[in-house]
């Protein structure tokens, strides 16, 4: 019997397709910015403004999609649910609505204690320690991340003198199963951080032929004798996290008319 992780089906027609549940909108912005922290997200709405476009219902929660005008460009804004399956489902809906490009940012845990709290991390590759990506790409331990826009984003960072780290991330869907042994194995693979969505998001984007750029701001430190939460709490260092939101908006403007 075939290993279930090797049971990828490349047929883009499923029993239930996004178009069966989501009606494309002609007024949908081509570019969306999304994050995972509700505090940071609603500070974005307060700062940049936001008009409600539509609401997506995901069984037990409603996610409002807004639009805002930033530097003359219309950008969609929405709050992504945490975890690869729900995040991928919402991403599918956003693509079905008409969005072509998404900038996604959020926290990650660091596996290298030299990476400073709230500093920017650009993932280049993700270890697929979650289940969702295997429905969107053939089985493999890793998937390339951010095939577009890395140079543009680095240009933004260099322009304001913001330091950053590039490297491999470990995407897991089991927050409470990040054991010491697993962490050490991921570090041996070259991982510098851990997240819960990156590899799945990259697989969905590639499967659907869309563009997604992902970046993190560093939070908790796993590279210590005991776990250090640092700024993982949504309410900590909000001004620093606002800077990540501003970077996402600046990148959105740069890619909107590409």
Only one residue has tokens 């800077």, namely 243
Angular region, 192: left φ>0, alpha ψ -120 to 50, beta rest? alpha
The answer as to whether 13 is a domain residue is: no
The answer as to whether 3 is a domain residue is: no
**Alpha carbons 200 and 73: distance in angstroms, whole number:** 28
Domain that holds residue 46: 23-256
CATH code of the domain containing 199: 3.40.50.1580
pTM above 0.85? yes
Decide: helix, strand or coil at residue 143: strand
Angle at 248 between CA 243 and CA 249, to 5 degrees: 95
Q: How many domains does the chain have?
A: 1
The answer as to whether 12 is a domain residue is: no
The answer as to whether 4 is a domain residue is: no
The answer as to whether 62 is a domain residue is: yes
The answer as to whether 86 is a domain residue is: yes
Question: Which segments within 149-257 are labelled E, that is strand?
Answer: 164-172, 191-195, 211-221
The answer as to whether 162 is a domain residue is: yes
The answer as to whether 233 is a domain residue is: yes
pLDDT tens for each residue of the chain, 258 residues long: 568 888 899 999 999 999 999 999 999 999 999 999 999 999 999 999 999 999 998 888 999 999 999 999 999 999 999 999 999 999 999 999 999 999 999 999 999 999 999 999 999 999 999 999 999 999 999 999 999 999 999 999 999 999 999 999 999 999 999 999 999 999 999 999 999 999 999 999 999 999 999 999 999 999 998 999 998 888 888 889 999 999 999 999 999 765
């Amino acid at each position: 019997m075939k290993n279930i992780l090797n049971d990828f089906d490349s047929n883009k027609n499923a029993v239930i397709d996004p178009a069966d549940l989501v009606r494309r909108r002609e007024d949908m912005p081509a570019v969306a910015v999304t994050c995972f922290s509700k505090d940071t997200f609603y500070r974005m709405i307060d700062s940049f403004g936001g008009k409600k476009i539509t609401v997506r219902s995901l069984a037990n929660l409603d996610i409002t999609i807004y639009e805002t005008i930033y530097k003359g460009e219309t950008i969609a804004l929405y709050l992504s649910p945490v975890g690869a399956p729900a995040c991928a489902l919402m991403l599918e809906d956003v693509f079905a609505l008409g969005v072509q490009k998404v900038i996604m940012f959020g926290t990650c845990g660091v596996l290298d204690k030299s990476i400073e709290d709230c500093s920017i991390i650009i993932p280049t590759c993700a270890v697929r320690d979650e289940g969702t990506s295997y429905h969107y790409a053939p089985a493999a331990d890793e998937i390339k991340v951010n095939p577009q826009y890395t140079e543009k984003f680095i240009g933004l960072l260099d322009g304001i003198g913001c330091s950053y780290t590039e490297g491999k991330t470990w995407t897991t869907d089991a927050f409470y199963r990040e054991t010491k042994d697993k962490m050490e194995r991921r570090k041996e693979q070259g991982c510098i951080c851990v997240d819960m969505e990156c590899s799945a998001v990259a697989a969905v984007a590639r499967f659907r032929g869309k563009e997604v750029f992902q970046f993190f701001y560093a939070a908790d430190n796993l590279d210590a004798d005991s776990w250090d939460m640092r700024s993982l709490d949504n309410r900590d260092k909000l001004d620093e996290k606002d800077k990540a939101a501003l970077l996402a908006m600046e990148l959105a403007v740069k890619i909107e008319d590409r």
